[in-house]
Structure 1
Amino acid sequence: MTTQLEVITPELQQQIHRRTLTVVVISQSFGGAGLAAGISVGALIAQDMLGSEALSGLPSALFTLGAALTAFLLGRVTQVAGRRKALGFGFTAGGIGAIGVVLATTLGSIPLLFFALFVYGAGTATNLQTRYAGTDLAAPDRKGTAISMAMVSTTIGAVAGPNLIEPMGRLATSLGVPALAGPFLLAAVAYLLAGIVLLIMLRPDPFLLSQQILAQNSGSTEKSAASGTEANNKRIVLVGAMTLVISQIVMVGIMTMTPIHMRAHDQSLGAVGLVIGLHVGSMWLPSLVTGRLVDWVGPRITATAGGLILLASGLIAAFSPADNLTGMVVALMLLGLGWNLGLVSGTTLVVHGTKPETRAKTQGSIDVWYQIFGAGSGILSGVIMSAAGYGVLAIVGGILALVIIPALALTRTNSNTASFQN
């Protein structure tokens, strides 16, 4: 525990940074399980309760809109009170939302379902924003690695969650709850545990401590670099935000409709769980490598690779036979990988392009747009699929991913990570 008057040496900073990453890893392991519930069965619940394929993208849109509001609030609260309180209460809200979804499906209440999904989105935003906690005390040339450490731990719960669809469905049925609500029982427990871990263990608060270090070293390289290249920093942040948003639009659009597409062609819930589980694992597990890749070759090259992989995913999903489980697995795994590359590289650009004293607010604001565009993608995906089919949806998503590549030309910096050390 440090005090406001204590001098933070580089050695002590790295010691606290390592402890912070440990806490983040533990919380994200739980958070990943909560995140997977809405992805796996949200669209199926909506289809059953609303009786419409065109409206089956609503759950994704609702919890993404809830995530957008939460992202805004998290950024503001973090700037004032630190990451511990912001993230802890964000996960708690997500857990309460998951409980609401279970009640809504049990009671057959559509208004309650919509409201609960909106609140459940708080967990999605918190899970995403926790990645920034790993960067607060990281060295400039280790920002990508720090982001990846926070993200990869999500894999544990995120992969387990979808593959527990059938066991959790049986548990739900034994409790008198509809089978599809089972994953939300898991989400409630997982999100609440993640919040408790952060509230109790994330001490000292990494964001508040980074502000103390900034004040202690008021003439530091980080501050002077950030203020000395204002115009270029804004471009870096813009490109980072575009990379995040486009990757999210493509991923959400294709992913949301995949369970509906599979069920329409008589694939089992177990098959859906397998595909989504491998997809979610591909979203997070590659962080073992992608963070270091960003630090090594630079975020621009990594983002370009992400755009190309998202294109490949869309084409494979579009042209694979509907009853070909292998094709769906490959397409959705590539979809997860492309999203991961976009998220890690985009986040790294945002971290390097923002001033430390306003970083949390900017991060929260960017994640708002990230979630809003994701919500729009969730809604439009159902409409497009209903009107033109899953193949057209997948192709459109893949082509859209290519926008990332020319957007990267807006930055004047070299691809070397050292260029972003501010």
Structure 2
Amino acid sequence: MPESSASGPEAATGVDATTLARVQRRTVAVLSAGQVLGGVAFGATISLGAVLAADVSGDDALSGFATAFVTLGTAAVAVPLATLARRRGRRIGLAIGMVIALLGVGVVVLGAAVRVFPLLIAGFALIGAGQAANLQSRFAAADLATDASRGRDLSVVVWATTIGAVLGPNLVGPGEAIGQALGMPPMTGAYVFTVVAQVLAIVLYLVLLRPDPLKLAQRVAGERASGAGAAIARDDRPRTALFAMIAIAGAHGVMVAVMAMTPVHLVHHGASLEVVGLTISLHIAGMYALSPVFGMLADRVGRVATVLVGQVLLVAAMLTASFGQDSNTAVTIALVLLGLGWSASTVAGSTLLTESSSEERRTVRQGRSDLAMSLVGGLGAIAAGGVLGAIGYGGLALVALVIVVAVAAAAPLARQR
């Protein structure tokens, strides 16, 4: 059974269980649509980032700055957006994140037009706010969820990212044709799709995310505190929440570090760009496509147990990558396992973090978790290059394995009741 002992919503003063269930279904549908739009916007953006950075700077060594600054931007606004959501609700928090990202797209296009590298990079940092909003959408899906469906509801929103993540990068070609017709700077045409998707996401959140799930959850929590409300709010378990944050950040750091270096390793071993593209596509499918399976698993067998399933998958991925580093097939299998391990750990860890935090601390912890997740991922990507150069791809996988073992060893923290 799941680690939480509280039951789902019961009859509440002014907000009964039937109403909560109806609002939750609507909330998950709206958030899923927003994730599709956000994924299209982010996918189209990030696929051009490295190329634009190299072109404007004139130095291929600076191509990684685009992704790095998107990650830093995500980290910088994670806590402020969570704080804003607590004060003004999820709809305002998510919409503001998208508005900042929209501003960032304009700055990127301007930076490309005037060929000023610092301006271009500043734009990518602002775009990170959109990714922060995408990350916080999964927590919004859990605001009104019951213990029986929290993992599933959260995972459905994560799964919706699959559509945008696959579709976004494929809009680069059509976008370039549109950009040329509009007189945009070279290699920025796909940002037309980014702008359209983000505007639609902003309108979607502001118009359709009503009633606001976090505001309604706060109302129910207040009723429960007065003895009349449903059991959405719960006792605070800081050690359990800490383990959840460690599991999320650890899995993300391992995933980013190994994934970022895989194309370099494959190319150096003679793989074609088609093989590299297929490997990364299968990895992304592993990250998102089966997330509902892990959400349902977390609901049925428990959050911590599912996190540990994720660690087992990550161990299998690291060992396959290390001992099969000379085989393109083995590396592809390792990347699929890596995506699956990340998915199980992130879905179950995010669910556990939500339900182990009291209503007063929940949104702040969620913001801090996204901050830690982004920082660890950024540092992992930076450090991975040095490790790859020093001890090779197999050695990088074994170093990452140490992090996986450390996360699994921290599991006793989650036993707090």
Q: TM-score range by the shorter chain?
A: 0.7 to 0.9
Aligned to 1:379: 382
Q: Does 1:58 align with 2:62?
A: no
CA shift at 1:408, angstroms?
0.7
Q: Does 1:14 align with 2:21?
A: yes
What percentage of residue pairs aligned between the two structures are identical? 36
**Aligned pair in 2 of structure 1 residues 252, 100: CA closer, same or farther (>3 Å)?**
farther
Is the Cα contact below 8 Å between 2:81 and 2:97 reproduced in 1?
yes
Aligned to 2:249: 245
CA shift at 1:64, angstroms?
1.3
Q: Could you tell which deviates more after superposition, 100-109 or 84-93?
A: 100-109
Selected match of 1:396 from 386, 399, 402: 399
CA shift at 1:44, angstroms?
4.9
Is the Cα contact below 8 Å between 1:57 and 1:381 reproduced in 2?
no
Aligned to 2:303: 299
Q: Does 1:336 align with 2:339?
A: yes
CA shift at 1:364, angstroms?
1.2
Selected match of 1:98 from 88, 96, 105: 105
CA shift at 1:113, angstroms?
2.2
**Aligned pair in 2 of structure 1 residues 263, 104: CA closer, same or farther (>3 Å)?**
farther
> Counterparts of 1:256 and 1:50 in 2: how far apart (Å)?
21
> Counterparts of 1:404 and 1:362 in 2: how far apart (Å)?
18
Q: Could you tell which deviates more after superposition, 122-131 or 400-409?
A: 400-409
**Aligned pair in 2 of structure 1 residues 264, 49: CA closer, same or farther (>3 Å)?**
farther
Aligned to 2:136: 129
Q: C-alpha offsets along residues 18-69 of structure 1, whole Å, 9 cap, x if unaligned? A: 1111111111111122233455454454455556676554333211111112
**Aligned pair in 2 of structure 1 residues 224, 306: CA closer, same or farther (>3 Å)?**
closer
Selected match of 1:216 from 219, 223, 226: 223
> Counterparts of 1:173 and 1:321 in 2: how far apart (Å)?
42
Secondary structure at the counterpart of residue 153 of structure 1:
helix
Is the Cα contact below 8 Å between 2:233 and 2:358 reproduced in 1?
no
Aligned to 1:416: none
**Aligned pair in 2 of structure 1 residues 86, 184: CA closer, same or farther (>3 Å)?**
same
Q: Does 1:409 align with 2:412?
A: yes
> Counterparts of 1:100 and 1:315 in 2: how far apart (Å)?
43
Q: Does 1:193 align with 2:195?
A: no
**Aligned pair in 2 of structure 1 residues 189, 398: CA closer, same or farther (>3 Å)?**
farther
**Aligned pair in 2 of structure 1 residues 400, 217: CA closer, same or farther (>3 Å)?**
closer
Is the Cα contact below 8 Å between 1:262 and 1:323 reproduced in 2?
no
Is the Cα contact below 8 Å between 1:96 and 1:188 reproduced in 2?
no
TM-score (norm 2): 0.86
> Counterparts of 2:102 and 2:185 in 1: how far apart (Å)?
17
CA shift at 1:328, angstroms?
4.4
Aligned to 2:286: 282
**Aligned pair in 2 of structure 1 residues 93, 349: CA closer, same or farther (>3 Å)?**
same
Q: Could you tell which deviates more after superposition, 276-285 or 244-253?
A: 276-285
User: Within 5 A, what are the aligned runs for 1:343-358?
Assistant: 343-358=346-361
Is the Cα contact below 8 Å between 2:142 and 2:351 reproduced in 1?
no
Q: C-alpha offsets along residues 257-314 of structure 1, whole Å, 9 cap, x if unaligned? A: 3344455566565554443333223212211211110011111111112122223323
**Aligned pair in 2 of structure 1 residues 177, 53: CA closer, same or farther (>3 Å)?**
closer
Q: What is the letter of the counterpart of residue 340 of structure 1? A: S
Q: What is the letter of the counterpart of residue 209 of structure 1? A: L
**Aligned pair in 2 of structure 1 residues 404, 74: CA closer, same or farther (>3 Å)?**
same
Q: C-alpha offsets along residues 189-248 of structure 1, whole Å, 9 cap, x if unaligned? A: 33332222111211111100111112223235747850xxx5xx1111010000011011
Is the Cα contact below 8 Å between 1:253 and 1:378 reproduced in 2?
yes
Q: Could you tell which deviates more after superposition, 80-89 or 359-368?
A: 359-368
Secondary structure at the counterpart of residue 411 of structure 1:
helix
Aligned to 2:160: 153
Structure 1 gap segments, 5+ residues each: 414-418
CA shift at 1:177, angstroms?
4.0
> Counterparts of 2:208 and 2:107 in 1: how far apart (Å)?
27
Q: What is the letter of the counterpart of residue 278 of structure 1? A: L
> Counterparts of 1:86 and 1:212 in 2: how far apart (Å)?
18
> Counterparts of 1:259 and 1:134 in 2: how far apart (Å)?
34
Is the Cα contact below 8 Å between 1:249 and 1:377 reproduced in 2?
yes
TM-score (norm 1): 0.85
Secondary structure at the counterpart of residue 402 of structure 1:
helix
Measured on the aligned residues, the alpha-carbon RMSD in Å equals 2.9
Q: What is the letter of the counterpart of residue 120 of structure 1? A: I
Q: C-alpha offsets along residues 100-120 of structure 1, whole Å, 9 cap, x if unaligned? A: 334434543321221111111
Q: Could you tell which deviates more after superposition, 307-316 or 335-344?
A: 307-316
